[in-house]
Amino acid sequence: MKKMFLCFLVTAGLFACGGSSDSNSGSASTEIKDVTDDPAFVAGRDLVNKSGCFACHKVDETSIGPAYRKVAEKYANTPENISTLAGKVIKGGSGNWGTVPMTAHPALSPEDAATMVKYVLMLKK
């Protein structure tokens, strides 16, 4: 059962990064060449996968919610923005991107929400 879940995560992770992981395979270096090698990015992406955020968000396209890349362009990656956005993920938000509100996610811890927001803000090109 646990194995199946892991499988799902891996598949979902591959889907989410759209095949951009090809250049990293087989590298033993600890140097961060690419944001997708950053452990903070990977941890955030896994949590976003597990938390169902991709039901409403895509990385590059507007879905029910704004594309994460657009969110990253709108907000600088600062501790203030991370805590504000993490608060919105937990409490829900509306009016910043359109008329559709984001549902609240009260079960998330502030730490997990911040981890996910950090991942989103790292998507800036």
Residues that bind ligand HEC (CB under 6 A): 48, 51-53, 55-57, 64-66, 71, 85, 88-89, 93-98, 100-103, 105, 116-117, 120
Secondary structure (3-state) at 102: strand
Q: Confirm if 87 and 69 have CB atoms less than 8 A apart.
A: no
Choose between 18 and 98: whose C-beta lies nearer to ligand HEC: 98
Choose between 23 and 84: whose C-beta lies nearer to ligand HEC: 84
Shortest Å, Cβ 8 to ligand HEC = 17
Choose between 36 and 93: whose C-beta lies nearer to ligand HEC: 93
Shortest Å, Cβ 52 to ligand HEC = 6
Secondary structure (3-state) at 12: helix
Q: Would you give the end-to-end CA distance of the chain in angstroms?
A: 37
Choose between 20 and 84: whose C-beta lies nearer to ligand HEC: 84
Shortest Å, Cβ 95 to ligand HEC = 5
């992770």: which residue's tokens? 13
Q: Confirm if 102 and 93 have CB atoms less than 8 A apart.
A: yes
CB atoms within 10 A of CB 85: 22
